[in-house]
Structure 1
Amino acid sequence: MALIVSDRRTLIVGLGATGLSCVRHCHALGRQLAVADSRAQPPGLAEVRENWPEVDVVTGAFDPEWFGSFDELIVSPGVSLDEPAITAAAEAGVRISGDLDLFREAVDAPLVAITGSNGKSTVTTLLGEMVAEAGVNAAVGGNLGTPALDLVAPDVALYILEVSSFQLERTTDLKAEVATVLNVSDDHMDRYPDRMSYFQAKHRIFQGARNAVVNLDDPLSQPLLNEGMVPHFFGLFRVDLGVFSTREDETGLWLTQGLANLMHARELGVAGMHNIANVLAALALGHAAGLAMAPMLAAARRFRGLAHRSQTIRQHDGVLWVNDSKATNVGATQAAIESLAPSDGELVLIAGGDAKGADLSPLVSAIAGRVRHLVLMGQDAPALEEALGAGAASTRVSTMEEAVTVAAGKARPGDRVLLSPACSSLDQYSGYEARGEAFVRAVEAL
């Protein structure tokens, strides 16, 4: 990227992976640059000081007067826009934006943008594999994996980005070639004043989009279509002209497009109806982006899912152990329970952590008749026990090792033990990956 000297004074608020990508990008543009982070030792601090020693980095409490002296604040997704220093800067006329605005200014290639409460990482990854199979030079990342700005390159023909509500709420106009909100359920209620605010943040993904992919099974995924926006649809058992869907016959379950069968569900390497819905979503997105069907189906047949997302760990004493640590909200756990409950047994569910203020009641109907025993851990174990205790017997534990031991004692042959927490992991772990890895270690030690 060529150096373009600029007098645009930019403050990057929040380090971490996204903040670092913004530092790299803005420094290459020649902007007058500074960084602020409320943490004393934020991740990425050493890298900034080593590689860009001329960039001022201020840690600790945010200073509203200093924030107001910049032309623009690039606010990382982990920092709330309700921070007093940020709201004061906005009132003073400072532009507030995020990494996606910088990304949109930097690239001309078409963008497929994917968000949703659940399944977005799986769909983003699968679509990336479909595009690779089709021979298209695509860059895949965003909220998943490599930050958007670190993907920017002149030879990229298509960008595929997972984007979060936090990124979208500070984005002006994404102008995606294809955009989707896969689904909407309660999440991040500790960061939003109400459900409508969360819903509105998600739907900013459709601003300027040319094609919208809509989940017919979730009315909250449907945008108010802008003039000229072309809709594409997917949904389970929604066979209709043009819709990516499923149907059953005497041979079992088929994935369909319109009235035509595409592939049998048994050809897929992922389990559960929620994963079949993810495959349908990826097919609809790829179709909207102009991909041929044959390479998309070939990629779908090979896809084995992502770690910590309905990931089969082992069979032990007739019990199947499944790691769904990525289920950090109620909707994800509800989908996992409903999709993964065995036909010849029941589930033992390990759940708990930080519920982020979510309404836990939708889990009540999900566990009824499917969950033999609840093993609850983390700071909101009492809240889960109170909300769900009438639906299944429960045991509270302190550690993952204890949770696995209790679950092994409660499970019977034919059952599945499912780690699907419905909560964030940050009360006990560095992230859902660490929580899932702790589960896998404990299961392998049985």
Structure 2
Amino acid sequence: MIPDDPSRAEPGLEAGSLKDRHALVLGLGRYGGGLETTRFLVGEGAQVRVADSGSPEALAEPAQAVRDLGAEVVFGPQEPALLKGIDLVVASPAIPFEHPLLLEATRRGLPVTTETNFVVARVTAPVLGITGTKGKSTTTALVTSMLRATGRRVHQGGNIGRPLVAELDRIGPGDLVVLELSSFQLWWTRRIQRSPNVTLVTNLFPEHLDRHGRLEHYARAKRAALDFQRPDDVAVLPADDAAVREADWLTAGQGRRLLWGTGGKVVLDGDEVVGPFGRASLEGMQLFGAHNRRNALAAAAAVSALLDQPVLAMERGARDTQPLPHRLQPVHDEGGVLFVDDSNSTHPEAAMAALRSFDRPIVLIAGGKDKGADRTALLDAIRKQTRAVVAIGTTGPELAAALGDHPVTVIPGSMAEAVEAARGLARPGDVVLLSPAFSSLDQYASYAVRGDAFREAAAASPKAC
């Protein structure tokens, strides 16, 4: 694995440092990450080569857009020859840290960085970063909505939406920047020794152990959001999260602490957030579930670290936030049966939170690629909180065996077949809930593709019996 010792901090990210550099962008991607990074580098005067091991046919559109910028595109095996003439490597966060080409670049002494590092290193506006295992995207949306309710210009990016490097030249010092930060992105930010001005942590569970190996490594990657905070920065941490305490996050960095949740300074009291700023009502929130009340609590705590009088912004922002795609998103209602897409649930804890969000009987669609998380509590929750289960993916048969005599139908085929099976098990008043608890990568390119397949199948006419 590439060392993440802070002594390896990479220079050369400041404005004007990229002119006449020869950069390799590793990872084009389907969703614009490599393209926007290339556009930024070319705009800074760099010569760019983009390499991707994916299918040229599947990536034809972004590849052509890269070529239109005057950059080179190379498909196929990512071998050391790609480094010929290169003096900077910009890696997609999706590229494993131990990728042979990154290891070879490091061995040669080439700087290796990411799009996020350019943003964090260059932005002059205050940065509010949001990390944790689950709830990041919804909490990011809540924070952004609350801040925009003040009339300030807010730029949202990181692990959500369009790469923010595309907006760098439009971010002024009077603006605000909200970044959702994954463990993969934060692993690289340790190299530039920068943390956000305000860092909000949602929670900490074992996750991505297939990439990080152990919880300690995962937690260390996440902690980069705190380790380089300065005395005038703020760490907004869950007071009631044992894993956060055990990971020593309460003492990381030099920023002052603002604790939220049970035992903290910002807490929930019914439908109100209560803190030193007063009381803010969450009445009228459109997001399902107690866990989304907790997300709103966390968002309000973070916003209070930036704003002097935040109550009205908290209330309006909480009301205005819509369910994000694939996160407890209602997608179809048929004969009194509500179909809900929670495909972003790729961890047992997320699926358990989804199950707690409804006071109606649930037919659960679950399963996928295992990432090494403990399933014990999930199995107990499924037995207690579901009418029946449709088990999918590589873990489907394992779930069926572990659930014993609980009603389970194993569907090894398509999402359409899984939805049809769930439709047959549901009764009026039930919820058909896709909350897989596992990764999508055994059957789908992403959780979004899996969720789209669910939505399409739910909206399709049921087959005649």
Alignment TM-score > 0.5, same fold: yes
The amino acid that maps onto 2:288 is A
CA–CA separation in structure 2 for the residues paired with 1:197 and 1:384: 28
The amino acid that maps onto 1:11 is L
CA–CA separation in structure 1 for the residues paired with 2:125 and 2:316: 25
Count of paired positions:
431
Range 427-436 or range 15-24, more displaced: 427-436
What is the CA deviation profile of residues 222-244 of structure 1, one whole-angstrom value per residue up to 9, with x for unaligned ones? Answer: 52434530112222xx265x32x
In the TM superposition, what are the counterparts of 1:43-442 in structure 2 within 5 Å? 43=59, 44-52=62-70, 55-64=71-80, 66-67=82-83, 70-156=86-172, 157-171=175-189, 172=191, 173-209=193-229, 210-221=233-244, 223-226=249-252, 228-235=254-261, 238=262, 242-243=265-266, 245-248=267-270, 253-257=271-275, 261-263=279-281, 265-290=282-307, 292-340=310-358, 342=359, 345-387=360-402, 389-390=403-404, 392-397=406-411, 398-442=413-457
Q: State the 1:355 CA deviation.
A: 2.6
Three-state SS of the structure 2 residue aligned to 1:27 is helix
Three-state SS of the structure 2 residue aligned to 1:368 is helix
What is the aligned partner in structure 2 of residue 10 from structure 1? 23
* Ranges in structure 2 where 5+ consecutive residues have no aligned partner: 1-13
What is the CA deviation profile of residues 146-173 of structure 1, one whole-angstrom value per residue up to 9, with x for unaligned ones? Answer: 1121121344411111121111111222
| Aligned 8 A contact 1:140 1:151 in 2 | no
CA–CA separation in structure 1 for the residues paired with 2:39 and 2:153: 23
| Aligned 8 A contact 1:187 1:330 in 2 | no
What is the aligned partner in structure 2 of residue 38 from structure 1? 53
Q: State the 1:2 CA deviation.
A: 8.9
Q: State the 1:140 CA deviation.
A: 0.9
What is the CA deviation profile of residues 177-235 of structure 1, one whole-angstrom value per residue up to 9, with x for unaligned ones? Answer: 11123122233232222222222212212232321111223233452434530112222
The amino acid that maps onto 2:337 is V
Three-state SS of the structure 2 residue aligned to 1:212 is strand
Q: State the 1:419 CA deviation.
A: 0.9
The amino acid that maps onto 1:35 is V
Could you say what the CA RMSD is over the residues aligned between the two structures, in angstroms?
Answer: 2.5
> TM-score, normalised to structure 2's length?
0.85
CA–CA separation in structure 2 for the residues paired with 1:5 and 1:184: 37
CA–CA separation in structure 2 for the residues paired with 1:170 and 1:132: 29
Percent identical across equivalent pairs? 34
> TM-score, normalised to structure 1's length?
0.88
CA–CA separation in structure 1 for the residues paired with 2:449 and 2:101: 33
* Ranges in structure 1 where 5+ consecutive residues have no aligned partner: none
CA–CA separation in structure 1 for the residues paired with 2:454 and 2:81: 47
CA–CA separation in structure 2 for the residues paired with 1:318 and 1:110: 47
The amino acid that maps onto 1:143 is N
CA–CA separation in structure 2 for the residues paired with 1:282 and 1:227: 21
CA–CA separation in structure 1 for the residues paired with 2:313 and 2:102: 46
What is the aligned partner in structure 1 of residue 7 from structure 2? none
CA–CA separation in structure 2 for the residues paired with 1:409 and 1:282: 39
Q: State the 1:371 CA deviation.
A: 1.6
| Aligned 8 A contact 2:227 2:253 in 1 | no
Three-state SS of the structure 1 residue aligned to 2:188 is coil
Alignment CA distance shift 1:102-1:5 (3 Å): closer
Three-state SS of the structure 2 residue aligned to 1:213 is strand
Q: State the 1:259 CA deviation.
A: 9.9
What is the CA deviation profile of residues 42-80 of structure 1, one whole-angstrom value per residue up to 9, with x for unaligned ones? Answer: 73211111221xx33332222235437533211111111
